[in-house]
Amino acid sequence: MKHFRILGLALLALFALSAFAASMASAEEGVLNPANFTLKGGKQKLINLRNEEIACKEVEGSGKFLTEKEKDQHATGTLDFKGCTALGLAANTLGDASGVFLAKVLYLICLTNSSTLLFGILVLALESPVHIEVPSVKQLILVKGFVIGSLAKAGELKGKEFAVNFTEEDKPAKCEINGNSFTSTYLASVDTKEDIDAFQLGEATVTFAEEVVLMDK
């Protein structure tokens, strides 16, 4: 049986702890003024230390901030991964079409580097664990955790469109929320088997409906 521990965008919609989401409802870091946004990216790839791979050809998503209050810096939304394979075989979330991963997620703006004001986005799923199946070999992969992507380069704090980099070849990403430090960590396994470490390759673009300012309050 194959086992995965996954870090990154290709499954960023699939990993979360709902209790964590609730505790992070009001963040020190954030967006002024909060604006709804879309996310779109191309190929996403996750490779573990056994060179086992989960890959998707593209990803699309959207987010809507829960209120217009300045401190409510979390948004809910969806992510839709298409053309997905696991172990080289077509895979999907349970009940979805072949090659499709669908998930409802929560987005949180955070600081990935407080000294240079480098911002990021933490993304977690509202269901945990998420079930991914590989029908051709009757294999089930259980996934949980969250991911952090770099949202902008230092000094790029204002605009409508930001590149997001979820690539973590050397080490997992970290960010600060409410003065607390978090490290992106994905856990995945076939059924109940143990996990192993992995890294992710992938980028996307977040486009806000109107110009926003990333800020450290």
Per-residue confidence (pLDDT) for residue 140, from 0 to 100: 85
Dihedral angle over CA of 2, 97, 185, 42, nearest 10? 110
Output the CA–CA distances (angstroms, integers) from residue 91 to 52, 102, 137, 187, in the order listed: 14, 12, 10, 18
Digit-by-digit pLDDT tens for the chain (217 residues) are: 344 444 344 344 444 444 454 455 444 566 777 788 999 999 988 776 667 778 899 999 999 887 655 445 678 899 999 999 988 899 999 999 999 999 888 888 888 887 788 888 888 888 877 888 999 998 888 777 777 888 877 777 888 999 988 876 666 777 877 777 777 666 556 665 666 666 667 889 999 998 888 877 6
Locate the domains of the chain by residue range.
9-216
Give the residue among 12, 27, 188 at the shortest CA–CA distance from 109.
Answer: 27
- What was the pLDDT predicted at 57? 95
Residue 159, sorted as left (phi over 0), alpha (psi -120 to 50) or beta, turns out to be left
Cα separation, 104 vs 12, in Å, equals: 11
Give residue 213's pLDDT: 85
CA 54 to chain centre: 15
- Residue 15 is predicted with a pLDDT of 43
pTM of the model: 0.81
Question: CA-based angle 113:38:12, to the nearest 5?
Answer: 60
Predicted local confidence at residue 187, as pLDDT: 59
Q: 214: how many CB neighbours lie within 10 A of its CB?
A: 21
In sign, the C-alpha dihedral spanning 115, 120, 124, 130 is negative
CB hemisphere CA count around 203 (13 angstroms): 7
Six-digit token string for 58: 């593209």
Rounded to whole angstroms, how far apart are CA atoms 155 and 21?
28
Instruction: Supply 129's token pair.
Output: 């664990």
The DSSP output letter for 4 is B
